[in-house]
Copies of this chain bind each other. A is one copy, B any other.
Amino acid sequence: MTDVVSIDPRTGHAVEVVAPETTPEEVRRLCDQAAAAVPALAAIGRAGRAGLLRRLADALDARREEIVAVADRETALGATRLGGELTRTCYQLRLFAEVLDEGSYVEATIDHPGDTPMGSRPDLRRMLVPLGPVAVFGASNFPLAFSVSGGDTASALAAGCPVVVKAHGSHPRTSQLCFEVMSEALRRHAAPEGTLALVHGVQAGVVLVAHPAIRAVGFTGSSTGGQALVEIINRRPDPIPFYGELSSLNPVIVTPTAAGERAAELGAGLVGSYTMGAGQFCTKPGLIFVPSGADGDQVVDTMAAAIAASAPQVLLNERIAASYREATSRLAAEPGVETISSGPAASGQGFEAVPLLLATTAKGMPAAVTEECFGPVSVVVRYDGEDDLLEVLATLPASLTTTLQVGADDAELPAAVSAALESRTGRFVYNGYPTGVAVSWAQHHGGPWPSTNTAHTSVGTTAVRRFLRPVAWHGAPESVLPEELRDANPGIPRLIDGVLVLPAH
């Protein structure tokens, strides 16, 4: 049996054995237990699940210091960032409790019997119900917010789906600790047994995705990893939805007016954004379009100076560090690409990476720069006017985000850029940065392929919908209807005979 080892990315050394890899038998037992928990998790209702989510947030908050310390030791992301990430994680759990309280997410719809041009219509009622047990794959880059305690888990539990998490191999101790804190809170508050489980190891992930009880998979990671899981799903007798957040370039367009108005501020902000979390954000700006000319030069000079003054950064694991070195060497050697600036040489310790700023031109941009590269590197693309810009934008793949840095009176160019990229963008950011994705009702974190593999979002309140499916009842007696569809409104918005009706308060 292989052990799961926790490694310190600052030194590259193994620190401790966390657990043995979960055996296939154990994975199957946990999946069966999750399946058995489905009716009980439905039976406690929206209010019951909202209570559990709040208790999970309280429990994680209460162990903040320990969780942040362990996560920092395993990821080198720093206590400040990880403290913020835990705050976000707890907020997310509490926001999904609000989603449950508000109740419109079930889309309760009632059509009373009546005559239609098609003839008489029966009593029809529809709402969304839980899909069943969900497999969640923790992401390397957010050990708290996209991992055991993260958004996929929170939204699946809110939906009423038991969760089996596959711990990411980069932070097994953090995963184990969060799981223990959450499990204890669930036990203390009498959650159904099987509500949450954790497995370790690549083979455990394979068994998990193939298990008949699992009804959906939530995944944040590489296209390669996602593709491997999709292939397992395609071999199931019953394919299940795979919600994959895969790869994103996140172009930033600085307009000439914006460069003229705030070159220095933009240069500093852009470097801050692309080196945040050592450049390991799904929303890292990987391609930055800057106008040619003096204002654009000032943007780039500020960026170059910030990179030259930066310290080496520590990446999450050996594989990411090796591919950063490999990909950046390859990029820098591309015809038409030059290295504008780099941080000081690495010390050779652990999984260090040297921050880099590369540059090319819209006319000479090689296709290689349109591939996502994890880590503290970005490529500036200098353009000569609107036509030059629009021509190169037409060659970009779809992204989670497109950012526009515009001037006070910019109108035409932002409109043209929006139109050019609307079909290839999940979120437009104006005069801000794509990193740091606020959790809220209107947030969205998804986009056309390869950003995600479906039109889903994994951040924001509608993330819950990935784990729900519609069921309709035709002429059903009140006794078999869910509370949300009975005549007496349990206090949620409902669509009745085609008219949205709010609850009386």
Contacts and interface: CB of A to CB of B under 8 A. Distances in A.
B502 A462 contact: no
Nearest to A438: B121
Given A91-B118, A429-B475, A460-B126, A470 B453 contact: no
Interface stretch (A305-313, A345-353, A415-423): A415-423
Given A431-B475, A462-B107, A472-B427, A126 B497 contact: no
A189 interface: no
Contacts of A428: 471-474, 476, 480
Given A107-B462, A117-B87, A239-B449, A442 B102 contact: no
B241 A454 contact: yes
Interface in A397-420: 406, 411, 414-415, 418-419
Quick one: which of A111, A238, A454, A472 has the most chain B CB within 10 A? Answer: A472
A121 B440 contact: yes
Interface in A444-465: 444, 446, 448-450, 453-455, 457, 460-462
Contacts of A489: none
A78 B159 CA distance: 45
A238 B452 CA distance: 10
A468 interface: yes
A455 to B, nearest CB: 4
A469 interface: yes
B480 A442 contact: no
Nearest to A126: B442
A79 B442 CA distance: 49
A496 to B, nearest CB: 9
A501 to B, nearest CB: 9
A116 B91 contact: yes
Nearest to A90: B117
A479 interface: yes
Given A87-B118, A498-B441, A474 B415 contact: no
B455 A131 contact: yes
Contacts of A495: 104, 441-442
A102 B498 CA distance: 8
Given A480-B418, A500-B502, A442 B475 contact: no
A109 interface: yes
A477 B414 contact: yes
A88 to B, nearest CB: 5
Interface in A113-127: 116-119, 121-122, 124-126
A492 to B, nearest CB: 10
B238 A449 contact: yes
A439 interface: yes
B497 A441 contact: yes
A470 to B, nearest CB: 5
A426 B470 contact: yes
A12 interface: no
A39 interface: yes
Given A124-B443, A430-B477, A493-B500, 4 more contacts: A104-B495, A241-B454, A414-B477, A427-B473
16 contacts: A102-B499, A111-B442, A116-B440, A118-B439, A125-B442, A126-B443, A132-B423, A238-B449, A418-B480, A426-B470, A427-B471, A428-B474, A442-B472, A448-B469, A461-B498, A500-B500
Interface of A: 38-39, 84, 87-88, 90-91, 98, 102, 104, 107, 109-111, 116-119, 121-122, 124-126, 129, 131-132, 234, 238-241, 406, 411, 414-415, 418-419, 422-423, 425-432, 438-444, 446, 448-450, 453-455, 457, 460-462, 468-477, 479-480, 493, 495, 497-500, 502
